Amino acid sequence: SWLQGQTALITGGGSGLGRALVERFLTEGARVAVLEKSAEKVAQLATDFAGEVLGVVGDVRSLADNQRAVVATVERFGALDCFIGNAAVWDHGASLLSIPDSRIEAAFDELFAINVRGYLLGAKAAAAALLASQGSIIFTLSNSAFYSGGGGPLYTASKHAGVGLVRQLAYELAPKVRVNAVAPSGMASDLRGPGALGQQDMAIMDSRSPEAIRAILPLQDFPSPADFTGSYVLLASRQNNRTLTGVMINADCGLGIRGIRHVAGGLDL
Ligand code: NAD
């Protein structure tokens, strides 16, 4: 177990990738806390993990809620070794021209408050505890942190902003705290969109299919949330990661080497 005795705080740990990270980090020997907006999902964590997971109901847009989660984590487990900023919303690919004039300001503010301000405030709240433990930060980015067309301009710009946070915070917090990211491709989760676009009840698989996602990826796979967790274990592990900071792992089934004529050069092999 690569994370024996380590403590992690995961935002958005109630479903999808965050929930898969909760399970994987427990398996690797970590103690796990979650900051999650949905009280139902936090109650489900308590049921499923028999009180082993510390669940904090709160909103990543609030500095006070992030601070409350960090304080509760350190109180319960004695330290914080890894902060994982992961809670986010998508935009279901809402394009510049499709977003109504009446909604675009509120949609930007809502999505950026969760996806960007949430990561900034999580890092702000966790920094002192991470300096004390000489721990690390991991942010969940997306293929939309590097490429167009995986979302609309709101989501794509928010994930590109995450790249800036990784680089700047890795610089500011070195040498004591490592700051890295994982940038996944599509997966089936409960990922929603901003209420300002009427997408609060719309989940990612309502507008995407496994077949469509698989077809665009060189590895021709549709990974489950659990398939992305290994990169986080590597980045969080003290004994296996003494060298990586400011690194973003493109866990996207080869999107960066997609061919022009064929998605994968070896389809006929
Ligand atoms: P998800 O909705 O299943 O998980 C996100 C969790 O965050 C949910 O439990 C939600 O309740 C919570 N949350 C949302 N807003 C919050 C807030 N303001 N405060 C606290 N908690 C909040 O979706 P997911 O796909 O597992 O998303 C996790 C991360 O993965 C996100 O950063 C997302 O951008 C990224 N990602 C997802 C995909 C995909 O295809 N699903 C692809 C690339 C990247």
Give the per-residue pLDDT at 90: 98
Contacts 24+ apart (CB under 8 A), 43-47: 44/14, 45/13, 45/14, 45/19
Nearest ligand 1 atom to the CA of 59 is 19
Ligand 1: does its nearest atom lie under 6 Å from the Cβ of 15?
Answer: yes
pLDDT of residue 150: 95
Token output for 44: 């489900």
pLDDT tens-digit series, residues 26-79: 999 999 999 999 999 999 999 999 989 999 999 999 999 999 999 999 999 999
Contact 169 CB / ligand 1 (< 6 Å): no
Which residues 6+ apart lie within 8 Å of 232 measured at CB? 21, 24, 25, 84, 138, 182
Write the single-letter amino acid at 225: P
ipTM of the complex: 0.99
Q: Is 35 left (phi over 0), alpha (psi -120 to 50) or beta?
A: beta
Confidence band (pLDDT; 50, 70, 90) for 117? Answer: very high
Our answer on whether the CB atom of 204 is closer than 6 Å to any ligand 1 atom is: yes
Per-residue model confidence as pLDDT tens digits over 147-187: 999 999 999 999 999 999 999 999 999 999 999 999 999 99
Ligand 1 contacts CB of residue 1 (under 6 A): no
Phi, psi angle pair for 89, to nearest 5°: -125, 155
Q: Indicate the top mutation candidate among 22, 159, 191 to test ligand 1's pocket, ranked by most ligand atoms within 8 A of CB.
A: 191
| Contact yes or no for 255/209 (Cβ under 8 A) | no
Q: Whose CA is nearest to atom 19 of ligand 1?
A: 59
Give first-to-last CA distance, the chain, whole Å: 37
55 SS3 class: strand
Amino acid letter for position 199: Q
Q: What is the pLDDT at residue 207?
A: 84
What per-residue confidence (pLDDT) applies to 73? Answer: 98
The tens digit of pLDDT for each residue in 91-106 reads: 999 999 999 999 999 9
Report domain extents, the chain.
Answer: 7-254
Q: To test the ligand 1 pocket, which listed residue (53, 92, 189, 213) has its Cβ within 8 A of the most ligand atoms?
A: 189
Mean pLDDT of the chain: 98
Q: CB under 8 Å to 109, separation ≥6 — which residues?
A: 196
| Topology annotation, domain 7-254 | Rossmann fold (3.40.50)
Burial profile 206-228: b = 16 or more Cβ within 10 angstroms, e = fewer: eebeeeebbebbbeeebbebebb
Of 111, 95, 115, 92, give the one whose Cα is nearest residue 161.
115
For 56, the 3-state DSSP assignment is strand
**To the nearest whole percent, how much of the chain has pLDDT over 90?**
99
